[in-house]
Amino acid sequence: MYKLNKTQIQEELLKLDNWSFSNNLLFKAYKLNSFMDVMSFSNLVSDKSEQINHHPKMIIDYNTIAFELSTHSLGGISILDFELANFIEDTYDELFQSD
């Protein structure tokens, strides 16, 4: 695994909906209908994170959850960050987008 350069990061960001890159982190916040929706969403992301051994920072505030992704061992962004971001995005679209 290797750290992606800024060009690679920008190319990968184009494939995601409204994720941002700043301070060596990928970031996105989601507003859901309830605290329980947020907790369900966070549990699905936690399960995936364990499977790929790559753990995000999750910030929960009632009906909002924010994700900060970075590969700390590399001091930057790797393909694992984008793998997890895509999982997060796909899960959100599948479970909450029709709300």
* CATH of residue 60: 3.30.1360.20
23 sits in which H/E element: none
Give this prediction's pTM.
Answer: 0.94
Predicted local confidence at residue 97, as pLDDT: 86
Closest CA to 46 of 23, 67, 19: 67
* Residue 58 resides in a domain: yes
CA–CA separation, 78 vs 80, rounded Å?
5
Number of structural domains found in the chain: 1
* Residue 13 resides in a domain: yes
* Residue 63 resides in a domain: yes
* Residue 67 resides in a domain: yes
* Residue 37 resides in a domain: yes
| Reported confidence tier of residue 63, pLDDT bands at 50, 70, 90 | very high
**Has residue 99 got a pLDDT over 70?**
no
- CB within 8 A of 20, min separation 6: which ones? 13, 26, 27, 28
* Residue 39 resides in a domain: yes
* Residue 1 resides in a domain: no
Domain that holds residue 12: 6-95
